[in-house]
Structure formats: C-alpha cells, structure tokens
Amino acid sequence: MEFSPTENQELIAQTVRDFAQRSIRPQFMEWDEAQIFPVDVFKQLGELGLMGVLVPEQYGGAGLGYFEYVTAIQELARVCGSVGLSMAAHNSLCTGHILMFGNEDQKKRYLPKLASAEWIGAWGLTEANTGSDAMRMRCVARQDGDHWILNGAKNWITHGISGDVAVVLARTGELLDSHGITAFIVERGTPGFKAGKKENKLGMRASETAEMIFEDCRIHKDQILGKVGDGFVQAMKILDGGRISIAALSLGIAKGALDASLKYAQERQQFGQPISNFQAISFKLADMATQIEAAELLTMQAADLKNRGQKVTRQSAFAKYYASEVAVRCSTEAVQIFGGYGYTKDFPVEKFYRDSKLCTIGEGTSEIQKMVIARDLLKG
Ligand SMILES: Cc1cc2nc3c(=O)[nH]c(=O)nc-3n(C[C@H](O)[C@H](O)[C@H](O)COP(=O)(O)OP(=O)(O)OC[C@H]3O[C@@H](n4cnc5c(N)ncnc54)[C@H](O)[C@@H]3O)c2cc1C
C-alpha cells in the first residue's frame, strides 16, 4: 500500500482546509449553540464536488476514490465534526446506496441532484426500538398493485427534516428474515411522508438529526432499489463503506484536538515554563499522535481495499472501532491539557470532546464493531 498522499489528495486537503477556515470556522460555534443546520455550506460543498465525491462524472460527481473522500471528511472534521458528519452521511449512505444499487433510471434521476447538493440526502434504517438490532424493524411496506404503502417511523435520521430525498429501509417480509426488508427511494413532498421530532443533542449539533414519519405513504414500485427483499443485505454493504467515512470523521476530530493541544501546551505557562515541558503533558501529546497514526493506517487500509473493490467488512470495522475510540481519547486528553479553559466554549476542544462521542455510536456502536470483527475472525 502506498502511504504518501497523492497529488489529488493534497489538492483536496488544501482546498477543504481553505474552505473550512473561510466558511465554517467563523460561525461553527453559533451553529452548534443554536443547532442550526447550515444548508448553504452544503450547497458550497456541492460546488466543490464534495457532495458526490465517489459519484462518477457521467452522473455529475467528482469521480474520485476513497483516499480523496477520507481526506475531505478529515479536513472538515478538523474544524467542525457536524459538517463532516453530514457530508459523510449524504455521500456514503443516501447517495452511496443509489450509486451502488440503483438502476440506470434511478441513477440518472437522483445522482446529479445529490452530487451537486441541489438535493440533500437522508438514509433511514434506525427506529426508536431498533438500533443495533435493525433486523427487527417495524416500519412496513405492503404491496398494492404497482405501489407499496409505507407505514412507520425512522428515528435518528441525519437530514430527517431537510433531506430532499431519502433511502428508507422497510419490512416487506417476515420479522427477522434477512430477506424480508426492502430499500425504497422516497422524495420529500410525497403524501404521507413528513418529518417528526428534531433531536437536541450533546454534540454534532449542527448536523440535523430527526424523525421521519410514514403514514399510508404510497411509493411506486419503480422507487425500489434492487429487488424486493434485498434491502437488509444492501444496508450492511452500505455500512461497510460508511464506516470508513466515520473513521475519517473520527480522525479529523482527533487531529483537530491534537493541533489545538500542541499549540496551547507550548503557549500556556505554569510554574514559570510552558506546560509542554512537563512530561505528564508531553506524554499525552505523544500518545495522541501515536494513536492517530495507527488509526490513520487502519482507515487508509480500509480505503485502499474499497478502492480495489475488495470485501472490506472486517477492515472497515477495525478502522471505525479504533479511530472512533481514539477520537474520544484524544479529545478527552485535549480538554485535560487545556485545564479549566478546556471546559469552556471559548476554545474548540470542548466541542471536539462533545462531537467525538457520536463516532463510537453512529453507523454501529463500538460493541457492534467488535461483534462484526469477532464474527469475521471466528468464521475462519
Ligand atoms: C447523531 C446521530 C446520527 C444518526 N444518523 C443516522 C442516520 O442517518 N440513519 C440511521 O439509520 N441511523 C442513524 N443514527 C442511528 C445510529 O446508527 C444508532 O444510534 C446506532 O446504530 C445505535 O443504535 P441505538 O441508538 O438504538 O442503540 P442500541 O442498539 O439500543 O444500543 C444501546 C447499547 O447497547 C449495546 N448493544 C446493543 N446490542 C448489543 C449486543 N448484541 N451486544 C453488545 N452490546 C450491544 C450498544 O453497543 C449500546 O452501547 C444516528 C444516530 C445519531 C446519534
């Protein structure tokens, strides 16, 4: 595996870094405080090609690979995890599902709009009572001639209110049958589809998370992705790729926490010297840097496999599990290095600390990643 960044990656890193400094840093705390989802920022990311990073150029995307994708999310999350999370959910989940399993008509209709950010995408798997145990979902779709009638609700959905189009997983067969779930494309404005409660969150507050409600919502059979009954297997494949983007999000947060800590530790004086002179502090920095390096290698390994079209289940779980725990550890240590100032909203580490926790929960908790890894190891 080649470790040095490609020319494309360097260009993307610089472009996203400049964009984040110019268009995100001045307002990110305001968005966080008021839970504002900054739609305009995503429109601008669309103009930069970052809302369809993996979408081929023929469908209006940037036609890039996972190395570039990981680079872009990291650079956004280094400044604001919320923007990184929303970009990841839009690209990997909704857009990724249509790209991977859509037919030609579906790709032509949705991908150009999603890649340009004319439309924001959402992806609904989770329900109030079924998170890790998604196969027990209660949202049902019943066939009625050429249509399917959707009833139920999806919870914790990124862009559940602002999403213009959603990929929704619903039960079309027996409970606990892995071939009893189907993926539907549902457009905002379809009668019977409305947004529900917006969550008031600990972190990632500028990334909108809300309920989607379906009441006798009629969906034409042409809106099915792949075949009836394929939805659960599709969703697991989508999460294999999505977890690489959450690893990238985690890395960005961890790097942001380290950047801030390095600067502060050399500026802050106690006992007549910079606190970086104390081994207790410098060893924290060394531990953070070492863990970030290891998390980055795991993430790039998963990205490399994905680029080569190989199975990535175990490696994306390694990357997501490890990088997300590193993000939590690094942001916790960053708050400690900042002391009392780290406990205020005047410095960015407080936000990294709150945002990082989502990474060990979303797209499969750390416990679920360990189950995925163990299952893969034990099947031989
Ligand atoms: C900000 C945010 C954005 C999200 N965006 C989306 C989205 O866009 N689309 C979507 O579909 N979902 C989304 N989710 C949902 C997310 O994927 C779920 O929260 C996650 O999968 C965990 O499910 P849960 O919250 O129901 O926790 P639960 O499944 O109830 O888990 C609770 C605890 O029990 C543990 N646990 C559960 N089962 C086991 C087991 N078998 N063995 C050991 N431990 C276990 C878990 O690890 C966890 O610690 C989002 C969540 C958040 C917070």
Q: Is 60 left (phi over 0), alpha (psi -120 to 50) or beta?
A: left
What is residue 380's predicted lDDT score, i.e. its pLDDT?
Answer: 63
3-state SS, one letter per residue, for 313-325: HHHHHHHHHHHHH
Amino acid, single-letter form, for residue 350: E
Which residue has tokens 């305001």?
Answer: 30
Q: What percent of the chain has pLDDT over 70?
A: 99
Task: From the options 2.40.110.10, 1.10.1740.10, 3.40.50.620, 3.30.300.130, give the CATH code of 122-230.
Answer: 2.40.110.10
CA-CA-CA-CA torsion sign (320, 325, 328, 329): negative
Task: List Cα–Cα distances, 272 to 284, 341, 358, in angstroms.
Answer: 20, 19, 38
132, 137, 199: residue to mutate for ligand 1 pocket, most atoms within 8 A of CB: 132
pLDDT tens readout for residues 355-371: 999 999 999 999 999 99
How many CA atoms, within 13 angstroms, populate the side-chain half-sphere of residue 221?
A: 10
Beta-carbon contacts of residue 56 (< 8 Å; ≥ 6 apart) = 63
The residue from 68, 75, 296, 363 that is catalytic is 363
Domain with CATH 1.10.540.10 in the chain: 7-120
Measure 132 CA to ligand 1 centroid, in angstroms: 5
Q: Are 169 and 127 in contact (CB under 8 A)?
A: no
Task: Give per-residue pLDDT as tens, 185-204.
Answer: 999 999 999 999 999 999 99
Is a pLDDT exceeding 80 seen at residue 374?
A: yes
Cα pseudo-dihedral 203, 295, 94, 377, rounded to 10:
-120
Pocket test for ligand 1, best of 127, 135, 156 (most atoms within 8 A of CB): 156
pTM: 0.98
pLDDT digit string (tens) for 247-279? 999 999 999 999 999 999 999 999 999 999 999
Cβ burial 100-132 (10 Å sphere, 16+ → b, else e)? ebbeeebbebbbbbbbbbebbbbbbbbbeebbe
Burial class (CB in 10 A: 0-12, 13-18, 19+), 53: buried
Task: State which fold the 232-378 domain adopts.
Answer: Butyryl-CoA Dehydrogenase, subunit A; domain 3 (1.20.140)
In this predicted structure, what is the pLDDT of residue 221? 98
Catalytic, 363? Answer: yes
What lies within 8 Å, CB to CB, of 43 at 6+ separation is 117
What confidence tier does 111 reach under pLDDT thresholds 50, 70, 90? very high
- The amino acid that residue 126 corresponds to is T
79 half-sphere exposure, CB direction, 13 A CA radius: 20
Q: Hey, what CATH topology would domain 7-120 get?
A: Butyryl-Coa Dehydrogenase, subunit A; domain 1 (1.10.540)
Q: Pocket residues for ligand 1 (CB within 6 Å)?
A: 89, 123-126, 131-132, 156-158, 201, 204, 209, 358, 361-365, 367-368
Helix, strand, coil: what percent of the chain each, to 5? 55, 15, 30
CA proximity to 206, closest of 365, 51, 20, 41: 41
**Smallest Cα–Cα separation from 364: which of 96, 120, 125, 122?**
125
Q: What is the pLDDT of residue 141?
A: 98
Domain with CATH 1.20.140.10 in the chain: 232-378
Confidence category of residue 3, pLDDT binned at 50, 70, 90? confident
User: DSSP states of 69-104 as a string?
Assistant: HHHHHHHHHTT-HHHHHHHHIIIIIIIHHHHHH--H
Token digits for 148?
């399917």
Distance from C-alpha of 93 to C-alpha of 244, rounded to nearest angstrom: 12
Q: Give the residue-averaged pLDDT of 52-66.
A: 98
Per the CB < 8 A criterion, the answer to whether 217 and 291 are in contact is no
The encoded tokens of residue 151 equal 């009833």
- 289-326 exposure pattern, b = at least 16 Cβ within 10 A, e = fewer: bebbeebbebbbbbbbbbbeeeebbbbbbbbbbbbbbb
Tell me what pLDDT residue 4 has. 85
**For residue 70, what are the β-bridge partners?**
none
